[in-house]
């Protein structure tokens, strides 16, 4: 991944950073500026080294100190930056299925957008961190076709991208057409199997072929033929197959649009994509919403939280 806004900081000195952070949080009042400047400009691997140096030098846990000294959304953002990537995803999923009510939005966003290799890693980390099987936890909290699609995605067995067989493209497009538009009711299983297991390049061709056969975009059919959590999940999968950065640009836009901000989503996307493709997400944002991500954050947020998000954003595309 080279399309992130956060890259390895050079020259890097973990001990010096640890000392600067300790000084910023010691005594009365906290120097938030120093904290946010250091944590948003080092990559995750470097932040782990800083945490380790912090413990060695002061016998204190950096994350505990951040939680003790900072508050609100700014605290959530700084603590999120300290989590290693796969632990970050595993933690988000654990909280999405914990306690009363399930946060389907989080399950949808993470499982629709991660690569099969990333999903395998998240499952491993989940088992190590929480001594529980992620698939068991998710099936215990979800049901119906929504649950089945999540289980297919959790298998992380999408076909590898090796050439496209045009006859299979035609066949899949016809199957989807018959399972939806041509049928009284919908055969959701067909959508789940095809969208959950075929390769990305194959599915992009299937969507084109589907449009030719039916006169509809696949999204329009999903919209008409399914509803609720399954509809949202299938649409997220289709959007990610078309373009992961475009999917996240849209997710960020709607997290800030209208009254009130969905800060959990905003933080989750900004942190999880900052070292992967946030540059591409910014470009899609500018293209699709006629304003830059930077400007929207600037307008919607305030204080240290805004400063930190703008530094993660890494530039204005106006």
* 244 vs 249: CA distance, rounded Å: 9
Task: Enter the tokens of residue 90.
Answer: 């595993």
Task: Enter the tokens of residue 214.
Answer: 């039916």
- pLDDT value at residue 75: 97
- pLDDT value at residue 76: 97
Please write the tens of the pLDDT for every residue from 170-213. 999 999 999 988 777 688 999 999 999 999 999 999 999 999 99
With CA atoms as reference, report the closest residue to 193 among 166, 218, 157: 157
- pLDDT value at residue 183: 76
- pLDDT value at residue 58: 98
- pLDDT value at residue 259: 80
* Structural domains in the chain, sorted by start: 86-155 (1.10.220.10), 166-242 (1.10.220.10)
Please state the pTM of the whole predicted model: 0.94
**CB neighbours of 9 closer than 8 A, spacing ≥ 6?**
41, 42, 43, 46
Burial of 146 from C-beta contacts in 10 A (0-12 / 13-18 / 19+)? buried
Dump strand ranges (E) for 162-245.
none
| DSSP secondary structure, 112-135, as one string | HHS-HHHHHHHHHHHHHHHSS-HH
Token match 């499982």: residue? Answer: 111
- Tens digits of pLDDT across the chain (318 residues): 569 999 999 999 999 999 999 999 998 889 999 999 999 999 999 999 999 999 999 999 999 999 999 999 999 999 999 999 999 999 999 999 987 778 999 999 999 999 999 999 999 999 999 999 999 999 999 999 999 999 999 999 999 998 899 999 999 999 999 998 877 768 899 999 999 999 999 999 999 999 999 999 999 999 999 999 999 999 999 999 999 999 999 999 999 998 889 999 999 999 999 999 999 999 999 999 999 999 999 999 999 999 999 999 999 987
- pLDDT value at residue 98: 84
Residues in the chain: 318
* 257 vs 300: CA distance, rounded Å: 9
């Amino acid at each position: 991944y080279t399309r992130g806004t956060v890259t390895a900081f050079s020259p890097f000195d973990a001990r010096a950073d640890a000392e600067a952070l300790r000084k910023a949080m010691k005594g009365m009042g906290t120097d938030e500026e120093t904290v946010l400047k250091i944590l948003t400009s080092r990559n995750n691997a470097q932040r782990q080294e800083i945490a380790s140096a912090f413990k060695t030098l002061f016998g204190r846990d950096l994350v505990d100190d951040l939680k003790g000294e900072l508050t609100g959304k700014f605290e959530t953002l700084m603590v999120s930056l300290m989590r290693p990537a796969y632990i970050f995803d595993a933690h988000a999923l654990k909280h999405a299925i914990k306690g009363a009510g399930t946060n389907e939005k989080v399950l949808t966003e993470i499982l629709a957008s991660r690569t099969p290799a990333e999903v395998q890693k998240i499952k491993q980390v989940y088992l190590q961190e929480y001594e529980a099987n992620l698939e068991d936890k998710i099936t215990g909290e979800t049901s119906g076709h929504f649950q089945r699609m999540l289980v297919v995605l959790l298998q992380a067995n999408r076909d590898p991208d090796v050439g496209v067989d045009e006859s299979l493209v035609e066949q899949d497009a016809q199957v989807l057409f018959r399972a939806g538009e041509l049928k009284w009711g919908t055969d959701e299983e067909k959508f789940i199997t095809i969208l959950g297991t075929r390769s990305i390049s194959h599915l992009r061709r299937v969507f084109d072929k589907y449009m030719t056969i039916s006169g509809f975009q696949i999204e329009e059919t999903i919209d008409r033929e399914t509803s609720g959590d399954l509809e949202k999940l299938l649409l997220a999968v289709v959007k990610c197959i078309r373009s992961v950065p475009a999917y996240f640009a849209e997710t960020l836009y709607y997290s800030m649009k209208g009254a009130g901000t969905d800060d959990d989503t905003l933080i989750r996307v900004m942190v999880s994509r900052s070292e992967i493709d946030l540059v591409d997400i910014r470009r899609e944002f500018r293209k699709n919403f006629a304003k830059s991500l930077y400007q929207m954050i600037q307008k919607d947020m305030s204080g240290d939280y805004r400063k930190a998000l703008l530094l993660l954003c890494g530039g204005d595309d106006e």
